[in-house]
Amino acid sequence: MTNRDMTREARDEAVLRDLLRELAREEGRRLERENEALQADPDAAVPKEAESRCQLAIRRTKSVPGGALPPLRRRPGKAAVAATALMGAAMLLLPRGLLRELIKLIR
């Protein structure tokens, strides 16, 4: 690989890293706005029935020796599925150094 190619690749990686960083920031801002809207929306509150069931489960956990209950099994949300797909694509398409940077940004 020539010096020119290495310079071009480094520049491309830097541009992509900056784009991904800005995308992550924008997504964070969007999620914060959505969270604020949900916090202010009385219709988005947890139903009283569900809250009482959760409180009951917490009380039961405290009464069990060691406080151990089996872990909840949840289906992954759309965001988790999308993140998994994105990371799979990134592992296939991105150079190793840029992939490490992307992982650092996500964490």
Q: Give the residue with greater pLDDT, 38 vs 79.
A: 38
Indicate yes or no: pTM above 0.75. no
Q: Is the pLDDT of residue 81 over 60?
A: yes
Cβ 102 vs Cβ 20: under 8 Å: yes
Rounded to an integer, what distance in angstroms lies between the CA atom of residue 56 and that of residue 39? 24
Q: What is the pLDDT of residues 12-35, one digit of tens each?
A: 888 888 898 999 999 989 999 988
Rounded to an integer, what distance in angstroms lies between the CA atom of residue 40 and that of residue 38? 5
Rounded to an integer, what distance in angstroms lies between the CA atom of residue 55 and that of residue 74? 19
Domain map (residue ranges) of the chain:
3-68+79-106
